[in-house]
Structure 1
Amino acid sequence: MKKDIILSGVGGQGILSIATVIGKAAIQEGLYMKQAEVHGMSQRGGDVQSNLRISDQPIASDLIPTGKCDLIISLEPMESLRYLPYLSHDGWLVTNEAPFINIPNYPSMEALKSELDKLPHKIVLNVNEVAKEIGSPRVANIVLLGATIPFLGISYQTIQDSVRAIFQRKGEAIVDINLKALQAGKEIAEKLM
């Protein structure tokens, strides 16, 4: 088992939380894991990207070569397009469709949609709306994480356990809403596949 994952978005969206949950779950399942340095996190609204490599064999490098990424997880559609050269032919993109417009020349939604429509393997959903329906806009990142469950190669139960462990210190209500978000994302991805 080997999964090379690129996580992307903008500062403040929760990319690091997604990486933490996946990393903790991978370790719980006895997998090897390497994570490359995350860029842009010092600035809210700046681009954030991380390479996350998990495998049942030792991993030599924490960087994913061009064309070898199995999964791009993105909380921002334009940021997802930035990393498409890394996506393998059979790789999947799981992205939020709601833009985070942080630059003056942000492309039109039509242009973004046109580029996303070219991809054969994608899950595009509005995690912001789903999170609001669940009751907290703050769980949008966990909705997106849930939508990646079919592609991670890590059991859903282990991901749930990881979410519980990471959010436990914030109280049972926070754990529960994050688990609801995870389940909602998983169900949406299963319908869209």
Structure 2
Amino acid sequence: MAKRRIGVYPGTFDPITNGHMDIIQRASRLVDHLIVGVARNAGKGPLFSTDERVAMVREDVTALNNAGASIEVRAFDTLLMHFAVEVNATVIIRGLRAVSDFEYEFQMAGMNARLNPKIETMFLMASEKSQFISSRFVKEIGRLGGDIRGFVSGRVADHLAERFALEAGNGDASKQIQTLKQ
């Protein structure tokens, strides 16, 4: 009986972008079961709570027409390698957008290998259409009223619009939400 290949794709996903979804879909073809690990990581000052981020990732993953692995979404607040051991993962999947990502990811993969050499790290290059997308840029563009629909799903764009309207705290929040949703 072949051993089941379990992969973990970790991230903050604040919010999940089309670039993340591209990696999830491609990674799901490489393992039998993919766990999207949503890091609590309060130190990054996320816009959305962990529960909100998990819900958004689940919504987008559910919408995938996935012919690959089963996909599960879970929050975690431990060391990544502890989480990987907890879920019996044999591989960590990381996305690379540009050469600038590589040095940080390379160092992290090296540290993870020292912590647990039984778990491999696999890098997937971002597809051409999503290599420039980052959650940070999506939030900045959305906060300033720009069109983010090409970078995130409609569901995530709606969540962002509602959050930015609440942040603005003005009585005209419904107008701002409608502008961002267009």
TM band (smaller chain): 0.3 to 0.5
TM-score, normalised to structure 1's length? Answer: 0.34
Point out which structure has higher relative CO (alpha carbons under 8 A, 6+ apart): 2
TM-score, normalised to structure 2's length? Answer: 0.35
Larger Rg: 2
Higher strand share: 1
